[in-house]
Amino acid sequence: MIAAQDTLLKEKLKEVFGYSQFRGNQEAVINTILSERNTFVIMPTGAGKSLCYQLPAIIKSGTAIVISPLIALMKNQVDQLNALGVNAQFLNSTLSQAEITKVKRDVTNGEVKLLYVAPESLTKEENIAFLQKADISFVAIDEAHCISEWGHDFRPEYRKIKTIIDNLGNLPIIALTATATPKVQTDIQKNLHMEEADLFKSSFNRQNLFYEVRPKVDTKKQLIRYIKNHKGKSGIVYCLSRKKVEEIAELLNVNDIKTLPYHAGLDASVRIANQDAFLNEDVDVIVATIAFGMGIDKPDVRFVIHYDTPKSLEGYYQETGRAGRDGLEGNCVMFYSYNDILKLDKFNKDKQVTERENAKHLLQEMAAYAESSVCRRRQLLHYFGEQLNEDCGFCDNCLRAKEKFEAQEDIMLAIQAVLQTNQRFDISHLTDVLRGYENQYVCSYNHNLLSVYGKGAGKEANYWQSVIRQILIYNFLEKDVENYGVLRITAKGMDFLENPYPVTLTKDHDFSNAMEEDEEDREGGAPATGKACDPVLFEMLKALQRKVAREKKLPPYAVFQEPSLEEMATTYPTSKEELSRVNGVGLGKVEKFGRPFIELIAKYVADNDIETATDVVIKSTANKSKSKIYIIQQIDRKVGLDDIAEAQGISMADLLKEIEHICYSGTRLNLDYYIEDMMDGDRQDEIYDYFMQADTDNIQAALNALGADDYTEEELRLIRIKFLSEVAN
């Protein structure tokens, strides 16, 4: 009989789905559910979970209920099955009453093999009554992690599923998910009363995926450079908000990368069209919010970029899972900034207490992952309850040199702390005990009396957390699945206490430079902060700036401002055109001072084999603001500044700021008509001469030097604009 069933399964697999072989655990899973046993399937995205319930549903008599949280996904699957000639239908809130009646009739007549139901619909009385009468073969619960509030996608309705199923009779259940930490897994099994279920857990390791985390600095530039280096390949860029999706999609298009946006705010027809354009390779890149593409299956996505830091490792892992489904190249880049973590945490503030706490934990795991310099794959797999005993050699942390330290003593202390507190506390409490931090919890448990208390006082909390996280990954400690956050000692940890040996750990990355960020938060045209700037080239450019200034008898800042030099040392412009795109450098400046700078950079680039910025100069999407153009036009027409300010509805100070901005971006402005009216020639000359010999164009410095009683700030600023326009632009 076994052999016969084997053959039958293979035949159906070929006949209906066109595949000649099962993948991984599929066949075993199918056999289990066919023999009416509860089945729990944990398989990474793309491994082929759907087939695990679709095939048995087709074989068994009656209708299988498939509970699935996403209506879009449901429709997609039903369409696919119908295309294969399988009668599948769905029941959800998008259907009209007439459609619902038809679906129910078809089910009652035994025509439907799979009925997809949203959990909300399942809880409706009339649907339950109808299902009780139908011939149901089994129940499949897709995305089963939604059951657990410890997961990243908790849905309260999912908690009621079990009770409803019980109302329908004694039906076998198959629960499936692509993301379950050990904690979530136990939680699901408990909730579904299927602790005894046959568990099929495939490895989550996606060997062909390359993981990389980059600081979120100059992100747009990095993004464009990255995509241009993967020219013609398909990729997905994930952003957290719809607005960001639109903005980035536009940015990429402007920079000659064929891109379309995808998010829930778009019309369904637009979404489908964009999705098709991506599948058909009319565009290379899709920029999406994370809700994207639950139903999309493009096998040759070559890169998945997280422009914003994701909310959880579960989400992150699922999304990266869309890369390289064909087993070939797949690159996963995440831009990380602790600012993003803080922002995300703020979004959670309106949630219920437990939900908020859980969301916070998930965020902390995310931050720890990003900042750690332990092999990414080891970390990810560990998070999902899988132990990798060696570094993978194929992730940024494995390939990058990192700072190591000998940690035998500190590992001893950390394990001691767990032991002495009776293996009942979480990482932050353990850290407090180690550092001798006398807070109310530590005192209430008398942990300030332990011998390990305060033994690690010389080191920061971050340090201890990093040590503890690393020895978790290296299996000296483990998480207690019953009690969230609680750490316990493994057998390996116990052995280590008795017979310690040298262990090296690695220092976490320092992402503090990604803290201030954000290009999005910065003033429109403000120059890059130069964090990614090449310090050697920068020094060379500064020397050149001073040399040119001496030759031309100008102050150095009148040649190029320092932020412009920093940007040059970041983007390596090697042509006039490229140089003119640097913030603060207009065509006038390029003509006046550009040549030696371009020559210096070109030589430097050639000598050091540097990939030039040709591809990377960002064409800004922000059209020069209308008000700027207006101001330039009005000044050309010699309109009084007070009139311009009034017409624009802004103060004089703000208008001057705008004008300075225009001037610092390299546009020459002639304000003589206004200045002449306002101050006499001597005063003008005095200020002008001051700026000519000053080290800085700082206004406060000018006020100090010239005397705040004698000159107004407005006068100084006006002359500074005149000066810069005449000598620098």
- DSSP, collapsed to helix, strand or coil, labels residue 262 as strand
Q: Is the four-CA dihedral 387, 393, 396, 400 of positive or negative sign?
A: positive
Residue 43 is a binding residue for ligand ADP (CB under 6 A)? yes
Beta-carbon contacts of 378 under 8 Å, excluding residues fewer than 6 positions away, are 388, 391, 392, 473
| Residues from 363 through 392 that contact Zn ion (CB under 5 A) | 375, 377, 391-392
Span near ligand ADP by CB under 6 A; candidates 17-25, 157-165, 219-227, 507-515: 17-25
Among ligand ADP, Zn ion, none, residue 313 binds (CB under 5-8 Å by kind):
none
Residue 50 is a binding residue for ligand ADP (CB under 6 A)? yes
Beta-carbon contacts of 86 under 8 Å, excluding residues fewer than 6 positions away, are 16, 54, 58, 113, 114
Nearer to Zn ion, 44 or 261 (CB): 44
Residue 66 is a binding residue for ligand ADP (CB under 6 A)? no
Residue 297 is a binding residue for ligand ADP (CB under 6 A)? yes
Nearer to Zn ion, 209 or 395 (CB): 395
Q: Give dist(CA 97, CA 22) in Å, integer.
A: 39
At 330, list the tokens.
């797949």
Nearer to ligand ADP, 48 or 456 (CB): 48
Residue nearest to ligand ADP (CB): 48
CB of 378 to Zn ion, least distance (A): 6
DSSP H/E element including 127: helix 125-133
CB of 556 to ligand ADP, least distance (A): 59
Give the Cα-Cα-Cα angle 412, 413, 415 (nearest 5 degrees).
Answer: 65
Span near ligand ADP by CB under 6 A; candidates 39-47, 112-120, 371-379, 393-401: 39-47
Beta-carbon contacts of 81 under 8 Å, excluding residues fewer than 6 positions away, are 54, 87, 88, 114
Nearer to ligand ADP, 297 or 495 (CB): 297
Q: Give dist(CA 508, CA 718) in Å, integer.
A: 49
Residue type, 96: S
Among ligand ADP, Zn ion, none, residue 398 binds (CB under 5-8 Å by kind):
Zn ion
Q: Is the four-CA dihedral 359, 363, 366, 372 of positive or negative sign?
A: negative
CB of 68 to ligand ADP, least distance (A): 10
Beta-carbon contacts of 51 under 8 Å, excluding residues fewer than 6 positions away, are 13, 17, 23, 26, 30
CB of 397 to Zn ion, least distance (A): 6
Residue selected from 34, 48, 175, 288 as contacting ligand ADP according to rule CB under 6 A: 48
Question: How many binding residues for ligand ADP (CB under 6 A)?
Answer: 15
Span near ligand ADP by CB under 6 A; candidates 22-30, 94-102, 500-508, 715-723: 22-30
Span near ligand ADP by CB under 6 A; candidates 3-11, 15-23, 179-187, 331-339: 15-23
Among Zn ion, ligand ADP, none, residue 43 binds (CB under 5-8 Å by kind):
ligand ADP
Residue 45 is a binding residue for ligand ADP (CB under 6 A)? yes
Residue 204 is a binding residue for ligand ADP (CB under 6 A)? no
CB of 54 to ligand ADP, least distance (A): 8
Q: 126-131 contacts: CB < 8 A, separation 24 or more?
A: 127/91, 128/164, 128/167, 128/168, 130/104, 131/65, 131/168
DSSP H/E element including 304: strand 301-306
**Cα–chain center distance at 306:** 4
Q: Give dist(CA 112, CA 163) in Å, integer.
A: 24
Residue selected from 5, 12, 19, 233 as contacting ligand ADP according to rule CB under 6 A: 19
Nearer to ligand ADP, 48 or 56 (CB): 48
At residue 379, what are phi and psi to the nearest 5 degrees?
A: -65, -50
Among Zn ion, ligand ADP, none, residue 51 binds (CB under 5-8 Å by kind):
ligand ADP
> Among 245, 213, 210, 234, which residue's Cα sits nearest to residue 296?
234
User: Within the chain, what is the greatest distance between any pair of CA atoms?
Assistant: 108
Q: Give dist(CA 79, CA 73) in Å, integer.
A: 10
Among ligand ADP, Zn ion, none, residue 395 binds (CB under 5-8 Å by kind):
Zn ion
Among Zn ion, ligand ADP, none, residue 46 binds (CB under 5-8 Å by kind):
ligand ADP
Residue 144 is a binding residue for ligand ADP (CB under 6 A)? no
> Among 321, 312, 335, which residue's Cα sits nearest to residue 244?
335
Nearer to ligand ADP, 205 or 620 (CB): 205
Span near ligand ADP by CB under 6 A; candidates 48-56, 143-151, 398-406, 419-427: 48-56
Span near ligand ADP by CB under 6 A; candidates 47-55, 113-121, 431-439, 717-725: 47-55
Residue 188 is a binding residue for Zn ion (CB under 5 A)? no
Residue 241: how many other CB atoms lie within 10 Å: 12
Nearer to ligand ADP, 26 or 191 (CB): 26
Q: Give dist(CA 308, CA 389) in Å, integer.
A: 30
CB of 47 to ligand ADP, least distance (A): 5
Point out which residues bind Zn ion (CB under 5 A). Answer: 375, 377, 391-392, 395, 398
Point out which residues bind ligand ADP (CB under 6 A). Answer: 19, 21-23, 26, 43, 45-51, 178, 297
